[in-house]
Structure 1
Amino acid sequence: MEHYPGAAEWVPDTGGLPRVRNALPDCRGCDLWEYADQVVPGDGPAEARMMLVGEQPGDVEDQRGKAFVGPAGRLLDKALVEAGIDRADVYLTNAVKHFRFEERGKRRIHKTPAVGHIVACQPWLARELAIVKPELVVVLGATAARALLGTGFKVTAQRGQPVELADGTPAMATVHPSAVVRSREYRRDFGLFVDDLRAAVAMLG
């Protein structure tokens, strides 16, 4: 595992989400800032009852500087509507704030963040959780699960089930919407993803 200094020294310990957004571009906690176009902050209201945490920004997010606006984000939007969730009411963010990729010709292909990147970026996610104080965290995919629920958690085995973060915050894990985008059984997997989001709504009460 590669070791990086981590983001702690760049993360403000006071103030709200605007201060976090303003501080993020200065972060040098790992090497990803050198290659990505820009950092991608979380998006949504500080008083959100539900927080959704994904893996990392994709190519479109890196270009636009906004979370969940690429193909996976569009699918997520559709699924949120189906589940009766207003995107404007939830806080969306990623476990890793920069896009990790490999170049193939003129294309930039997603590359899963290393454990070192997840660990280095953890202080940003911890600060977002401390500010938003969500009543429920929806964990999207294996990278976010590793960041929030530990290495022993298996999304495929425990998706849709109530769990807790280390601090006791109620949570639930499901697949990342990008997995549904790529699925050969799209209709089935989209339906299961919506079912998980509906279960999240039920957990909120």
Structure 2
Amino acid sequence: MPISKSKISDMDFGSFENTINKNIETDKASDKFDQQLQAYKDAGYILASAKSELKMAATSLQEAKDNLVKATDKADAVTKAIDSFIAKVRDIKFKAKVDDADIEKLTDARKKLVGDESKLLEDHRKENKDILIRHFYDMSNMMSRNEGVWLSNGWVKTLLWIFLLCFLYTVISIVYFVASCIEK
């Protein structure tokens, strides 16, 4: 029997290898596509969730706005009622007759009150003077012993400016925050 050529040598291993490589690349691309598709689906779920939360927040803000409008209307009604009551009270007039003897008693009482007040103010002035003198001597003694914390006028002015800037920043921040809350 004659020996013939083997059929295996007729096979093209290069094209077989190319086909395997293409299948591997296709599988990799398919996996990558599946991952991207899943990422898009996840992003869609997150977006839908955020959208529903935004709708809930918008509803809540609308309710808050409606409540604020109701409260404002009620406050306006109360203010108008108070204004009308004050107008009625202003319209009330009292008529009284005062006797001359009562006026003299009132004048004497006023003079006595002014005299007593003058005496109290004089006593208060003397007391303050004594306190200031004691304070002056206490401060002199502290300074002579190098005690206490002393700030020069320049430092005090600098600290006051810094405190003023901090206070203004705080007030402006609060006003801005309240204004931004009201506008929403």
Q: Give the TM bin, normalised by the shorter chain.
A: under 0.3
- Identify the structure with the greater strand proportion: 1
- Identify the structure with the greater helix proportion: 2
TM-score for both structures, normalised by structure 2: 0.15
Q: Look at both structures and tell me which one has the larger radius of gyration over its CA atoms.
A: 2
TM-score for both structures, normalised by structure 1: 0.14
Q: Which has the higher contact order (CA 8 A, sep 6+)?
A: 2
